[in-house]
Amino acid sequence: MLLEHDLTIVSLCRGGFFPGKELNKRKSAIDANRRAIDEASQLGTSMLVLVCGAESSQELEESRKQIRDGIAEIIPEASAAEIKLAIEPLHPMYADTRSAINTMTQANDMVEELNSAWVGVAVDVYHLWWDPFLEKEIKRCGQNGRLMAFHICDWKVPTRDMLLDRGLMGEGCIPIKKIRSWVEAAGFTGFNEVEIFSTTYWKENQFEYLQKIIKAYKENS
């Protein structure tokens, strides 16, 4: 279907969720990520985005080690399949269950520690816009040659749901154009991926919603 419509698959989203209290759970997460690498390969895309996971019954430091070890485990398969692994740092409000990697600083630290050309970072403005070190860390990521993806949407004021109330570009308070300029200054030339989780917009006519996205993209990003 995608090929028929001349659409490019930027990435498969998502792998990750490496942490777990039990070894079995961590092993099955690694297996699931290996399958995701296969799927990405079969889809003809070159990237797997990692929502790294967090286990709320253990400390974040432990989850972070398990994420690092989990990614290290799948680098050989990623390399063999030529699939990039993009760590997506998630907003700190998701540190309980979705990701223990919550800033660009942490993502860059982990990427440098893992030290593989197949492991980089996906920058999503929704998760990272508040961080005073964002410009500096985007630059660092670019200098490392590891800036792999760029996701955009907006932070609505007020935000009524922690997961499913994202806004169209221009509808909220994120300086999207500014962050895009940082990403481009850091050498990023890939797609600007619009990613708007929103029960409100999902209820609308989806053709009209797509027109709104295109307009917002052209005007406010």
- The residue ranges that bind a copy of itself (CB under 8 A) are 56-57, 59-61, 64, 91-93, 95-97, 102-103, 106, 129-132, 155, 157-159, 162, 172-173, 175, 178
Cβ proximity to a copy of itself, 6 vs 61, nearer residue: 61
Q: How far is the CB of 210 from a copy of itself (least distance, A)?
A: 27
- Contacting residues for 164 by C-beta, under 8 A, at least 6 apart: 197, 198, 199
Q: How far is the CB of 196 from a copy of itself (least distance, A)?
A: 17
Two structure tokens written together for 100: 């223990």
Q: How far is the CB of 62 from a copy of itself (least distance, A)?
A: 11
Q: How far is the CB of 109 from a copy of itself (least distance, A)?
A: 9
Helix (H) or strand (E) holding 14: strand 12-16
- Contacting residues for 205 by C-beta, under 8 A, at least 6 apart: none
Cβ proximity to a copy of itself, 178 vs 215, nearer residue: 178
Q: How far is the CB of 91 from a copy of itself (least distance, A)?
A: 7
**Other CB atoms within 10 Å distance of the CB of residue 42:** 10
Cβ proximity to a copy of itself, 41 vs 70, nearer residue: 70
What Cα–Cα distance (Å) separates residue 167 from each residue in 16, 202, 207?
25, 12, 17
Q: Report the alpha-carbon distance of residue 21 to residue 213 in Å, rounded.
A: 41
Task: Tell whether omega for the bond before 158 is within 30 degrees of 0, i.e. cis.
Answer: yes
Cβ proximity to a copy of itself, 95 vs 194, nearer residue: 95
Cβ proximity to a copy of itself, 77 vs 88, nearer residue: 88
Two structure tokens written together for 15: 């792998």
